[in-house]
Amino acid sequence: MGCRQQRVLQFLTFVSCLLAFTSSAAGQIRLAGSGSTQCSGRVEIYHSGSWGTVCDDTWDLNDAKVVCRQRGCGIAESATSSAQFGPGSGQIWLDNVACSGSEHYLTECQHNGFGTHDCGHGEDAGVVCSAPQIRFAGSTSCSGRVEFYYNSEWGTVCDDNWNLSDAKVVCRQLGCGAALEATSSARFGQGSGKIWLDNVACSGSESSLTECGHNGFGKHDCSHGEDAGVVCSGEKCLLYSYQNIDKNVLN
Ligand SMILES: *[C@@H]1O[C@H](CO)[C@@H](O)[C@H](O)[C@H]1NC(C)=O
Ligand SMILES: [Ca+2]
């Protein structure tokens, strides 16, 4: 690919990253900090145009449960305190978070009100969740056959009713930017084992695939010839932030 084409592609990727980011960010959470992984880290929540942290006052396993669920990261193993993943910066958005553990979003839990706190970043809260619940197989890190982890087993997703709204959720959950395509008929090869999800019906605003409607785990009328896949704009989206936008567009 020529240099010029590459730049155009980079720019388009950037624009779709930005769109994915701004159209869906409110109330979104991410896991950040030193030693963080896709499913563990300092909890950061997006509110009023910026990412901020959560204070560890009253932070416990019920709160971590909700974060792990919202991120599609399985079971909460621990709720960390005292900036275990390093201190964040900027706003401390939430304090005295009190989830019952059954909420789907952290914003549904009780708290002091956004920005009302008596904390410092040395008290930043974090989570350790068991594992990511989805992955791409059969291709690159930001496209491929969608595989879903349930009941200690990786399985596939059927392409019945699979569309761009579902793909959007997958790309978001894996930090892969915008959804470019929802693929069907095992485009990325056939998986094996369980077919966990069928008739997935996301609206597109969910933060993880488990929040979307479906037949029920393992209930389907499909074969692996119908395995669903996704093409996302790219893994680089994870690295984009307001701070390095200029650098990335201009060079
Ligand atoms: C995908 O299908 C769902 C219903 O399962 C529908 O609500 C949604 O609008 C569809 N999205 C697109 C992009 O066609
Ligand atoms: Ca407090």
State pLDDT tens for residues 131-177.
778 899 987 789 999 999 887 789 999 999 999 999 999 998 887 88
Provide the whole-model pTM: 0.60
What average pLDDT does the structure give for the chain?
86
Strands 40-47 and 126-129: antiparallel
Ion ligand 2 contact residues with beta carbon within 5 A: 57, 95, 118
23, 163, 171, best to mutate for ligand 1 pocket (most atoms within 8 Å of CB): 163
Cα three-residue angle 110-26-87, rounded to 5 degrees: 70
Residue of 121, 136, 134, 137 lying closest to 85 (CA atoms): 121
Residue nearest to atom 7 of ligand 1 (CA): 203
Q: How far apart are CA 79 and CA 60, in angstroms?
A: 5
Closest CA to ligand 1's atom 5:
201
Q: 248 φ, ψ to 5°?
A: -70, -35
Is pLDDT of 51 > 60?
yes
Nearest atom in ligand 1 to the alpha carbon of residue 163 is 1
Instruction: State the closest ligand 1 atom to the C-alpha of 161, by its place in the atom list counted from 1.
Output: 5
Angle between helices 164-173 and 3-24 (to 10 degrees): 90
Identify the H or E element spanning 19.
helix 3-24
Cβ partners under 8 Å of residue 12, min gap 6: 233
Phi then psi for residue 76, to 5 deg, are: -80, 120
- Identify the residue whose C-alpha is closest to ligand 1 atom 4: 201
Whether the Cβ atoms of residue 51 and residue 45 lie closer than 8 Å to each other? yes
Please write the tens of the pLDDT for every residue from 195-248: 999 999 999 988 788 889 999 999 999 999 999 999 999 754 444 433 333 334
Domains and CATH numbers, the chain: 29-129 (3.10.250.10), 133-250 (3.10.250.10)
